[in-house]
Amino acid sequence: MNFEQNENLKMIEQMARDFAEREIRPHFMEWDETQHFPKELFHKLGELGMMGVLVPEQYGGAGLGYFEYMIVIQEIAKVCGSIGLSVAAHNSLCTNHILSFGTEEQKQKYLPKLASGEWIGAWGLTEANTGSDAMRMKCVAKKEGNEWVLNGTKNWITHGISGDVAVVLARTGDLLDSNGITAFVVERGTPGFKGGKKENKLGMRASETAELIFEDCRIPEENVLGEIGAGFKQAMKILDGGRISIGALALGIAKGAMEASVRYSKEREQFGQPIANFQAIAFKLADMATEIEASEMLLSEAADLKNRGENVTKVSAMAKYYASEVSVKVATEGVQIFGGYGYTKDFPVEKFYRDSKLCTIGEGTSEIQKLVISREILKD
């Protein structure tokens, strides 16, 4: 495996970095404080191909692979985890689900608008009482003629209010039947479909998280994604790739916290010298750098497997688990290095600290990743 960056990867990295510095850094704390979801920003990201990184050019996307995708997420997350999270959810969940399982007509209809950033995508799996235990979902869809009638609520949905289109998983069979869940594409404005409560979160505050509510929402048969009853299995495959994107998000947050910590440790003086000269600080930086490097290698292996179409379940779970836990650890150490200043909103590490925690929860908790990893090991 050769993970060395080529010129194309370096160009994409610079493009994403320049965009983040120009369009995000001047505003990210204001967005965080007010919980403002800057929808107009994602139209600009779409113009640069960052809302359809994995979408083939024939559908209006950038037609790139997972290494490029990782770099885009990382560079954005180094400045603002919230924006990185929204870009990740849009690309790897909603858009990728339609790309992976949609008919040609569905791809032609939805992917160009999603890849351009004209439309923002949402993905609905989680419910109030069914997070990790998704097969107990209560959101149901019943067939009536050539339509499906959807009733229920989805919770913790990125872009639940502002999303223009959502891929929604609903029960169409018996409870606990892995072949009894179906995926649907639901457009905003469909009667019976609305956004609900917006969550007031610890971190990732500029990434909108809200309910999806369905009340006798009629969905035409042509909006079924893939086969009826195959939704749960589709979702598990989508989450395999989603773990790479959340891992990349965690890695970007960790790198941002690390870079800020290195700069500060060289500038901050105590006892007549920079604190970087003290072994207690230098060793923290050494641990941070080592664990970031290990996270990146695991994620690169997962990206390589995904690009080659090989089974990525175990490695993507390992990469997401490790990178997310490292992100929390690095951000925590960053706050410690900054001392009292690290506890204020005038310096960047407190936001990295708050944002990092979501990475150990979203798209499968660390505990679920261990379950996936152990099952794959024992299966082998």
Give the pairing of strands 147-158 and 140-144: antiparallel
Lookup: tokens for 338: 């900054």
Instruction: Give the separation between CA 326 and CA 315, rounded to whole angstroms.
Output: 16
- Considering the candidates 33, 363, 367, 376, report the single residue annotated as catalytic: 363
Concerning whether 47 is annotated as a catalytic residue, the answer is no
If 0-12 CB within 10 Å is exposed, 13-18 middle and 19+ buried, where does residue 63 land?
middle
Q: Tokens 């989450």 label which residue?
A: 239
Tokens representing 254?
A: 């960790």
Cβ–Cβ under 8 Å, residues 139 and 150? yes
Give how far Cα 69 sits from Cα of 66, 76, 153, Å: 5, 11, 31
Residue 162 CA neighbour count, 13 Å, CB half: 20
- Only one residue has tokens 């997350």, namely 77
Point out the residues that are catalytic: 363
